[in-house]
Amino acid sequence: MNCSFSTDTGFAHSRAKKEEEAGEVEDDTAAEKGNDDDDENKTEHKKSEVADQDSAVKPHGRDGSTPSNILEKGIIYFFFRGRIGIDHPDKVSDIARSYIILRPIPKDAKLGDGPIGDAGNSRLIAVPKKVLPQSGRDRWIAFVEKSDASFDELKKNFLASNDYQTKAGIDRHSPAASPFGEGVYAITTTGRESHLAYMLTLPKKLDQVQTKMGLKEKGSWIISTRNPQYPAPANTQLPESPKFSKDILDEFRSLRWMGTLPKHLIPNAQFLLVGESSGIDKALQPDEKDKKDKEKEEPVEEMERLEEEDAARMEHLGKDAAEAVFADLEAQAKGYPELQTTF
């Protein structure tokens, strides 16, 4: 069996169809702080501001208090998709793959009421191992399927189910993606390492599905981007390499891995997710320079404020957790799975 990862620009469903036809549906398939380019930051900030005029995102809401070691923050959604023909997974082995959606917001923004709004900047990340890493012993590769995605793209090509025929004329059903968590996130740097930290908003209490899938109320992973100039580790090859700029490739120097920066998260980029059993403590350590600045909040304080704001707005988006999640992604909950808490 060929154990390489598979992805394509049509993302989730077309990939699943190709893998099914080939008999290749997968079960299991440190760094330096970087400074974003100023022009790139301004462009992204302007794009977010335009999209956020009618959304819950309120740019400039933090008045310069955002910690400097938070490289990016936003809303995070956790989904999984059942295997071909399995709409309602009863166990982890019924799941084909897990996914993370990141919807960044400006670093100085706060959240008000209403849906998050579509800035066309969402990323879809695939986790072929199904469950999320929980401790330092859990180290596996994820990859970016789509970046700069609109909610409309996500609805059509990822969230929805898909029925098709194989070349052999066999009918196949790829189920709709099921949410199992929503919250806030931050990509942070401690100088040597990068982290993806999150605080869960929905469901309000962890249940069986969340626990088995590796979610915590507050959690984080060490994240390191793979240098595509070196061969991929065994069984993790993608058909195409990420189209990193020369500047990014030069930043790797001779390193095989470096701490993940937001600018790395483009289609086909692979990064290592390493569990952190200590939770968010290491990921949200304050920067030494920020300790001397009385206006700067500590990273954990910023995350807690963001989570409180997110909880307040999500409470009014739907009568249950699934309805709130799909409303936030500008999708009607009807026809989509509920936010699953038990197998």
Residue 253 pLDDT: 94
Residue type at 100 in one-letter notation: I
pLDDT tens digits along 24-67 = 333 333 333 444 444 444 444 545 444 556 799 999 999 889 99
- Best CA proximity match to 241, nearest among 264, 260, 222: 264
Residue 54 pLDDT: 75
pLDDT tens digits along 132-184 = 999 999 999 999 999 999 999 999 999 999 999 999 999 999 999 999 999 99
Mean pLDDT of all residues in the chain?
Answer: 88
Domain-by-domain residue ranges, the chain?
12-328
- Section 301-313 average pLDDT: 98
Nearest-angstrom CA–CA distance, 19 and 56:
39
- Section 191-200 average pLDDT: 96
Residue 277's alpha-carbon distances to 66, 147, 282, 302, in angstroms, are 26, 29, 10, 22
| Beta-ladder partners of 281 | none
CB atoms < 10 A from the CB of 157, how many? 20
What's the predicted TM-score (pTM) here?
Answer: 0.87
Residue 23 pLDDT: 43
106: cis peptide before it, omega within 30°? Answer: no
Which class for 170: exposed (0-12), middle (13-18), buried (19 or more C-beta within 10 A)? exposed
Q: Quick one: pLDDT band at residue 274, thresholds 50, 70, 90?
A: very high
Burial 254-272 (b: 16+ CB within 10 A, else e): ebebbbbbbbbbbbbbbbb
pLDDT tens digits along 86-137 = 999 999 999 999 999 999 999 999 999 999 999 999 999 999 999 999 999 9
Give the contacts of 214 (CB within 8 A, at least 6 positions apart): 131, 132, 133, 134, 138, 275
